[in-house]
């Protein structure tokens, strides 16, 4: 099994619908992140969580919410999806502080299309 | 605030030729620097990182990068490109005091036979 698992892998939804993207990890990391990737813009941080009770907004949090259900689970919700939220979404995890062995561990991504 | 610029959106290189991808960052002190690669349909894989010490960093898949403080750059290089190196490459910067990464816009590399 992958260290960081995102579900679904692909999703098409209609404008105005609520949708949840899920992320679970087996790394045992405290810190989890949601990024979105758009062509030419790289990855931009939506929300991040340093532990179950610590959730923070990133640079583009408007229109999104998150839930940290457990150390291993971090979900991203679009309350009312709009077409410009069409993107590739990545979940990532990291250990406390900067590990000398690796930075982030990424999931394989969720490709979301809002029509 | 920290930022990363990758000036080249696309680069086309012949198989066997050398490759250099540019990355410039903006940060008030010495940052932590990373290069990630994203193959088609895949997540991001860490190629290499710089935290401190030797400014020439070796990574996986034959890649290396050089940190130049005076130029605020962290360019990625590979002496001889293989067809499997066709992918998108992202430079990222992290502040030592926190874990948030800021990514550049990415450079897509195409490899010609």
* pLDDT tens, residue by residue, A22-36: 999 998 888 999 999
Taking an 8 Å cut-off on Cβ atoms, the answer to whether A45 and B101 are in contact is yes
d(CA B23, CA B40): 21
pLDDT, position B30: 77
Apex CA B59: angle with CA B53 and CA B65, to 5°? 60
**Can you list the residues of chain B whose pLDDT is less than 70?**
96-99
Which residue among B49, B51, B104 places its CB closest to the CB of A42?
B104
End-to-end CA distance of chain A: 32
Q: How far is A70 from chain B (nearest CA, A)?
A: 19
Tell me: pLDDT of A102 over 60.
no
pLDDT, position B2: 84
pLDDT, position A100: 52
pLDDT, position A94: 87
> pLDDT (tens digit, 9 = 90+) per residue, A50-62?
889 999 999 999 9
Neighbouring residues of B97: CB distance < 8 A, sequence distance ≥ 6: none
Taking an 8 Å cut-off on Cβ atoms, the answer to whether A42 and B105 are in contact is yes
Sign of CA dihedral B6, B7, B8, B9: positive
Apex CA A89: angle with CA A86 and CA A95, to 5°? 160
Which residue among A41, A42, A90 places its CB closest to the CB of B43?
A90
Tokens of A14: 């209609």
Q: How far is A104 from chain B (nearest CA, A)?
A: 8
d(CA B48, CA B51): 10
């Amino acid at each position: 099994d992958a260290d960081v698992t995102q579900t679904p892998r692909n999703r098409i939804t209609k404008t105005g619908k609520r949708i949840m993207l899920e992320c679970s990890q087996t790394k045992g990391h405290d810190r989890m992140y949601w990024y979105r990737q758009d062509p030419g813009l790289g990855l931009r941080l939506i929300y991040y969580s340093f532990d179950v009770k610590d959730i923070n907004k990133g640079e583009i949090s408007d229109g999104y919410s998150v839930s940290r259900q457990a150390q291993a689970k971090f979900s991203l919700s679009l309350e009312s999806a709009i077409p410009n939220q069409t993107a590739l979404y990545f979940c990532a995890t990291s250990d406390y502080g900067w590990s000398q062995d690796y930075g982030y561990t990424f999931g394989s991504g969720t490709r979301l299309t809002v029509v | 605030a920290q930022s990363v610029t990758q000036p080249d959106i696309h680069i086309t290189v012949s198989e066997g030729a050398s490759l250099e991808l540019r990355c410039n960052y903006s940060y008030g002190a010495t940052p932590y620097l990373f290069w990630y690669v994203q193959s088609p349909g895949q997540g991001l894989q860490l190629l290499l990182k710089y935290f401190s010490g030797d400014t020439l960093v070796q990574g996986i898949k034959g890649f290396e990068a050089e940190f130049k403080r005076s130029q605020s750059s962290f360019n990625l290089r590979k002496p001889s490109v293989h067809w499997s190196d066709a992918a998108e490459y992202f430079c990222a910067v992290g502040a030592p005091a926190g874990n948030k990464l800021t990514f550049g816009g990415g450079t897509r590399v195409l490899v010609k036979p």
